[in-house]
Structure 1
Amino acid sequence: MRDVALAPAVTPPLTGGLADSVFDRADLDPTLPVLARRAGPPGTGWEEVTAVELRDEVVDLAKGLIAAGISPGHRVALMARTRYEWTVLAHALWAVGAEVVPIHPASARDQVEWILRDAGCVAVVADDEQGVMTVGTVCTRLPRLRHVWQLDAGALADLAERGAIVPYTTVESLRRIVLPDSTAAIVYTSGTSGRPMGCALSHRNLAYPCDTLLAGWAHTAAPPGEQPSVLAFLPLSHVYGIMIMVMCVRGGVLMAHEPEPTGTAFTSALTTFRPTYLYGVPSVFEKLYKTFLRTAQETGRGALFERAAQTAREFATAEERRRLGTGPGPGLELRLQHALYERTVYRRLRAALGGRVVRGTSGGSALDRELCLFFEGIGVFVHDGYGLTESSGGITMQPLGREKSGTVGRPLPGTEIRVADDGEILVRGPSVFQGYISDEQATRVALRGGWLATGDIGRLDGEGYLTITGRKKDVIVTSGGKSVAPALLEQRLRMHPLVHQAVVIGDGRPCVGALITLDPEFLAHWRAALALQGESRETREENALRDELARAVASANSAVSRAESIRVYRVLPEPFAPDNGLLTPSLKLRRDAVVRHYAAEIEAMYQARSRSRPGPPEPAEWDEPDDVFR
């Protein structure tokens, strides 16, 4: 068993609740812009909200909540997209000692009912009429629910008006009795297998990783002399989104909200708001890379982009060796090539991100090392961090000047990490949650002598850098007894431009297989670029696609041993999505649901392979991967 811990960061001790940062900032720097909201439809400018303006909105809304009967300890669900009102509401609720219960607005009715009942919510704030209708279908079975407020119907203005008679001193009295160890939020796990569980997170739990990151890394989040800025677009129903929100408000980082995380709205938000720091999940950075590549190919510069991308990775690799003391750094020829592509390629790529991004963080699952190196090489340091709902988000971060791509960094100061004999990562520190509500047995299983059993498997290197290799419950055991962690294979598959999603399977099977979905945007571009003519176009196109996917599988297999490699795969006709129940609202795979949904296809895939290979289906005989198209 291996332990790693860093000395605690020098951060001021927390004396109250999270809402205090709104009031403290307004007293310290009242004119500082802290939030930004759209002045009109996508493509228009942004309207900045100062610290004192935010405080006044929080106070007015807190008074309205008090007038509506919301008291300390009451739980209020926020079932809304990533929007300005979410941040104001959360801090108003914290100001009166209430607890926030985030729910993704796209959650199914049964899941909404489960969370509202399990948490005992007394009120729900919904985005729109659709959300109100969803709650309305289950509210008769929720005896504690007293209020359903709709943001798009002017609920906040109505609450502020209702609270006009409540004196400011009442808000102050309630805010000052909130203690650091009071519960701030009940955040539900993603529910990738079974019902989601409510994690009770205190004000201290949420504040500690944020304050630690601000103390050690905030100065790197913007060019010197500029105020850091962040575009919030991931769901605030997920702890990652909440952590970013809390960190921005506590650190005086200008934050804008974009409820549409993909497509033209997101692109417009990047280029108009122009953040200095970019955060996301691996799929966001994978999509950005594929968009860069597709755009270059469409303009006839695909070969130039690929050469520039390779130079970026080589340059970043040499720089990494230099800062880790294992190499001299980029040589003269590589520096000259990099300087050339800086003028012709890299600055244009950064312009597509708004032109001001200097750093970024990926979380949620492991980010491919080659992708880390690409972004670093074009001038945007993007590295993995690690955390989970039960740890209030952040557990690790890359040490400044000692960043190591392909790892999630080292534990945050004050946090301890231990890797058990079976590879499971255990965590102890101030951010570890209070427990699962209504489930003492699950809490006892998760918290072992003060250590949080994360369910993730990984390894620590000689310098204390942590590498995540997968989830314990996701490990595949083939019929030959080989244990395979699917995460690395899936990550490598997704790096091919045509691959959108990948699920590696093989439990009880003679070999590892994969279910693949294709990226619709890149597929359309790829088809147009083929320019095939004649009656056999469809057949030739399918053969070309088989060749491309064979290359994707071969690339993934190059990262693992022969026994762990993919030997059979199938291309599916539609992506995994929350709508078909194969992704959680936070876009995590529901592996069990995928296997059940495609049980017939999986069986046919393995049967087809067995028929093509007479005799016992021993793994050693499956030399080359077979593909099966629907």
Structure 2
Amino acid sequence: MADLVVRSAEHHGGAPALRHKVDGRWIDVSYAELAEAVQEIGLGLIGLDLERGDRVAILANTRPEWTLACFGALRAGAAVVSIYQTSSPEECHYVLEHAEARAVFVEDVEQLAKVRQVAERLPALEHVIVFDPGGAEPDGATALEALREHGRERDPAELDERTAAIDPDDPCLFIYTSGTTGPPKGCILSHGNYRAVADAVAANGTLRGGDVVYLFLPLAHAFAILVQFVAIDLGGVIAYWERDPEKIVPNLAEVRPTTFPSVPRVFEKVYTTASARVEEAGGIKREIFRRAVATGRRVRALERAGRRPGPGLRVRHRLADRLVLSKVRDLFGGRMREAVTGAAPIAPETLEFFDACGVRVLEGYGMTETSTAATANTLDECRFGSVGRTIPGVEARIAEDGELLLRGPNIFQGYYKNEQATREALVDGWLLTGDVGRIDEDGYVFIAGRKKDIIITAGGKNITPSNLESGLKQSRWISQAVVIGDRRPYLVALLTLDPDEALAFAEQNGVAVEEVADSPEMLAEVQRTVDEVNARVGRVAQVKRFKLLADDLTQEAGELTPTLKVKRNVVVERYAADVERLYAA
């Protein structure tokens, strides 16, 4: 992947590669400019005496400089170590020490302070480079612009030699798992791993040349890194968010992406908010919305079956599109060919809603250990509820205990400094994913949930909590759901309220927002949702009692991973007293 920018610059030259907002205006960086900046950074790193195979960390939010630093380090023959910008100083210390990073790029003075706090315990760390030093040369660190200036003084042939010497088996990235249980493990992903996945994604048509990709996902995560690689490989444009969650929707309208990679929570939020507003409006507006979506569903179902809608249905669909469906598409900029989601389950109902509106949300599956991707739905081959078929070159099978096993050129090289964990994860060339699933007769893969999360009740029944949790989160009121019941007589749930909906409810009902979770009216609303979900499953799989927590789960509190997956063990331990009260009631 080290020569990726060089090759793309040769083919696309003055075409835009990166797009970001500066002082209220979207600014483009061409492929030629990208290649020049990457060369300067790579030469600057060589000037710091970094050797081939050294680890260079990046501690920053998703922004153009992340991409520049990543490719600069790769061209110099180093391996990139990604660190989430939300990490605490001690979490940064763990990754930097474990990876033995010799250099680290940090975003700003805030991230620099984290490194300085633990620097004395990092004997391998020699250099700190700051993207945005705040107008002054940072004490004990180097500004990114200064590093580039040093790079301009060196012979480009030095960098070309480094890049040419890289082998497909050389480490490309060290990505540390977010650690829903235990300390993070450092996954070693080679240049060959990512080359294989990038080629497979291109073959699937998920990303195409000229695509505009809106990127807000953390570049410390394997999903965003793959998007970055493939977009640049194919000559697309990466449009970076403004690093403000409130600006994601306005950014989408301005950027008008053709492809949008995201986590399920974003789509769930749009779906539940739209549904809630229509329900509140009632009357004719609610009826128009429901009929429009139903019409969209009928048209899409016929199209998937290869049939043309009749004249009457086409007329109704044009009207539905003008009144409702096009407005949903406009939220994403109006020209999006497809969105891609992964990293956590998403309810089929949510996918069907967006499909009816003309927004194709394609679910895929992978993990850090598969270099992000292993299976994917595509525009031509999609089955709701599944995570698609295996991408080209990847094999899948189901073990006797139901665990999904994967094999292919995308499978990682192992866990750094952890041979035992590597042996446990890789058996005879197959990756034990830790997920329980099935493969249907057409090769579509369905994931039931994490093997370790399966609940075995006191009565010996096996229950997958993720299905119940996805159903509960379809409610406008519920932000997060954690179903509990291992070795217990029945299931209970810890639920959190959507903060926006809780605030609106408080204003409408004249109660303090901190009292909403205990209000009889809200408890009755949530009980209706629980009853609806329970009606879809057998008695043993029903949630008998629930607790509405006062606060939503957050990354800052250590309850969510950076991709918004619940750290189940943390939540269960933190709210153990509430769980016991549910069983004592």
- Same fold, TM-score > 0.5, yes or no: yes
Q: Structure 1 residue 217 and structure 2 residue 205: aligned?
A: yes
5 Å matches for 1:545-556?
545-556=522-533
User: Distance between the aligned counterparts of 1:313 and 1:236, measured in 2?
Assistant: 37
Give the Cα–Cα distance (whole angstroms) in 1 for the partners of residues 434 and 291 of structure 2.
Answer: 35
C-alpha distance in 2, partners of 1:485/1:329? 39
Contact 1:428 1:450 in 2 (8 A): yes
Q: Distance in 1 between matches of 2:312 and 2:455?
A: 45
Pair 1:428-2:407 in alignment? yes
- Cα pair 1:419 1:458 within 8 Å, conserved: yes
SS in 2 for 1:514: strand
Does the C-alpha gap of structure 1 residues 379 and 319 become closer, same or farther in structure 2, counting only changes over 3 Å? closer
Indicate which of 222, 229, 245 corresponds to 1:262: 245
Structure 2 SS opposite 1:137: helix
Structure 1 residue 129, shift from structure 2 partner: 1.6
Q: Deviations over 1:157-201 (max 9, x none)?
A: 010112232101111111111112211000011100000100000
* d(CA) in 2 for partners of 1:311, 1:124: 52
Deviation at 1:339, TM superposition (A): 2.2
Q: How far apart, in 2, do the equivalents of 1:405 and 1:524 lie?
A: 33
- Displacement over 6 Å in runs of 4+: 538-541
> Cα–Cα, structure 1 residues 529 and 344, in superposed 2: closer, same or farther, change >3 Å?
farther
Taking the aligned partners of 2:294 and 2:245, their CA distance within structure 1 comes to: 26
Count of residues in correspondence between the two structures: 574
| Whole-angstrom distance in 2 between the partners of 1:560 and 1:589 | 23
1:253 aligns with 2:232: no
Paired residue type of 1:563: V
- Paired residues for 1:128-139 under 5 Å: 128-139=108-119
SS of match in other structure, 1:468: strand
Contact persistence 2:81–2:173 (CA under 8 A): yes
The residue number in structure 2 matching 1:279 is: 261
Aligned to 2:487: 508
> CA shift at 1:560, angstroms?
2.6
**Residue aligned with 2:205, SS:** helix
Contact (CA 8 Å) 2:302, 2:309: kept in 1 or not? no
Find the aligned partners of 1:37 and 1:318 in 2 and give their Cα distance. 37
Shift, 1:551, TM fit: 2.0
> Retained in 1: the 8 A contact 2:292–2:321?
no
CA drift at 1:506: 1.0
CA distance in 2, matches of 1:302, 1:503: 35
Select which of 487, 506, 522 maps to 2:466.
487
Q: Contact conserved, 1:80 with 1:86, CA < 8 A, in 2?
A: yes
Aligned counterpart in structure 2 of residue 29 of structure 1, from 4, 8, 12: 12
Measured after TM superposition, the shift of residue 529 of structure 1 is 4.9
1:486 & 1:218 partners in 2: Cα distance?
30
- For residues 60 and 286 of structure 2, the distance between their equivalents in structure 1, rounded to whole angstroms, comes to 39
Residue 185, structure 1, aligned to residue 173, structure 2: yes
After superposition, where does 1:90-129 map in structure 2 within 5 Å?
Answer: 90-129=70-109
For 2:19 and 2:485, the matched residues in 1 are separated by: 48
Matched, 1:235 2:212: no
Q: Equivalent residue for 1:69?
A: 49
Indicate conservation of the 8 Å contact 1:206/1:392, yes or no. yes
Change (3 A) 1:165 1:402: closer
Q: CA RMSD in A?
A: 2.3
Sort the Cα spacing of 1:46 and 1:394 in 2 relative to 1 into closer, same or farther, 3 A.
Answer: same
Distance 2:150 2:324 in 1: 55
Residues 205 and 392, structure 1, Cα contact 8 Å, conserved in 2: yes
Letter of the structure 1 residue corresponding to residue 44 of structure 2 = G
Equivalent position to 1:388, from 364, 367, 379: 367
Aligned residues of 1:313 and 1:373 also touching (Cα < 8 A) = no
1:479-628 → structure 2 map (5 Å cutoff): 479-529=458-508, 542-608=519-585
Q: Confirm or deny: 8 A CA contact 2:52 2:78 kept in the other structure.
A: yes
Secondary structure of the corresponding residue to residue 394 of structure 1: coil
Q: Secondary structure at the match of 1:445?
A: helix
**Alignment partner, residue 477 of structure 1:** 456
Please give the secondary structure, in 1, of the residue aligned with 2:384: coil
SS of match in other structure, 1:413: coil
AA aligned opposite 2:125: L
SS of residue paired to 1:211: helix
1:214 counterpart letter in structure 2: A
The letter of the residue matching 1:427 is L
Structure-2-length-normalised TM-score: 0.93
- Alignment partner, residue 316 of structure 1: 297
Distance 1:549 1:295, change over 3 A: closer
Secondary structure of 1:192 counterpart: coil
Task: State the alpha-carbon separation in 1 of the partners of residues 408 and 244 from structure 2.
Answer: 32
Contact 1:315 1:334 in 2 (8 A): no
TM-score (structure 1 length as normaliser): 0.87
Single out whichever of 363-372 and 550-559 deviates more from structure 2. 550-559
Give the one of 61, 74, 86 matched to 1:81: 61
> 2:139 corresponds to which residue?
none
* Cα displacement (A) at 1:313: 5.2
Distance 1:579 1:547 in 2: 30
Q: Partners in 1 of 2:245 and 2:148 — Cα distance?
A: 33
Change (3 A) 1:80 1:302: farther
Shift of 1:301: 7.1
